[in-house]
Chain A
Amino acid sequence: MTSRLSQGQLIAAIGAAVLLVAMFLPWIGVSGPSLPSGVSLPPGVSGAVGDTSENVWKGSTLDVYLLITVIVAAVPALLALTDSAEEFSFVSAATFLLGVVAVILVAAWLTIDFPDGAERKIGAFIGLGAAAVIAFGGFRAMQEEVAGEI
């Protein structure tokens, strides 16, 4: 099944799977004031203080873009899984393009657009790495397609 995939397509598919998982990990954390010892909160308001973490699905446009990137990067692998003989010549280029833009967007979000006082969590860094892997996989797949045509 994986033998039908080129090395670049396989790398991009692995990056897509990692990115999809990373999207559900914490990306941003907010630290609130801690309660003095011996003080308890009534039920239902325990989330109002202390540390809270959110994943990328909350409050950012990144979620829909990264989901599209995951889908495009995973298309060749999905076609191989379903034994489809279709080949899309633009998929590798699209994977590379979307991967590069994803790296730029996540890096910009982590630096320029990041909310003041919030904390960067592990999911954001794994997502950034996975986007870079997708871009590299797309680039490698493009190289392999060109080499195959010669």
Chain B
Amino acid sequence: MDLNRLSQGQMVAAASAILLFIFTFLPWFGVSGGIISGGGVVTASKNFSLWEIENPLDIYLFIVILVALLPAVMTLVGGGTDGGGLAGMATALLGGIGTLMIFYQLFDHDFFGVGFSTKIGFWLGLLACAGIAVGGYLSMQDEAGGERY
């Protein structure tokens, strides 16, 4: 497997996609609370990975991961074809929206109610998804023959 066949954008997108997949299994959200019992306060907390919450974000990010990996896999296995300009566009578009959707969780977490907090997986996932968007954008630049930033 010759990784040199991948463009810079494809490599960034694929690496970010692999990292995002790993990060989805880390704690993303936590809830904590306390009750008064016998004159003392008993507190409890629970962490949730991305897959443990009833939210379409997990399925969406899984689609983003597949779309980001596909051009790299096709280039490595198929020997050159990378889906044309649409592959980079799709990766950048879905990755950008994914980043926005993750960030939006800070303001829209009705499913947890009070005591909600974000965990390390959330912030790492946010960075990885932004990496996918950047990789897609670089792929578009590569495919258009423009300059890389």
Binding site for B on A (CB under 8 A): 58-65, 68, 90, 93-94, 97-98, 101, 104-105, 108-109, 112-115
Contact = CB atoms under 8 A, between A and B. Distances in A.
A-B CB proximity, top 7 nearest: A59-B110, A61-B57, A105-B56, A108-B59, A109-B56, A59-B111, A64-B104
Nearest to A113: B54
Given A59-B110, A93-B89, A94-B93, A64 B100 contact: yes
Contacts of B100: 64, 68
Given A94-B89, A98-B93, A104-B59, 9 more contacts: A59-B110, A61-B56, A61-B57, A64-B108, A65-B97, A90-B86, A112-B59, A113-B55, A114-B54
B89 A105 contact: no
B90 interface: yes
Given A97-B94, A108-B59, A113-B56, A63 B86 contact: no
Majority-rule SS of A interface residues: helix
Contacts of B97: 65, 68, 98
User: At the interface, is chain B mostly helix, strand, loop or mixed?
Assistant: helix
B117 interface: no
Contacts, number: 57
Interface string B49-79: 0000011110110010000000000000000
Interface of B: 54-57, 59-60, 63, 86, 89-90, 93-94, 97, 100-101, 104-105, 108, 110-111
A91 to B, nearest CB: 10
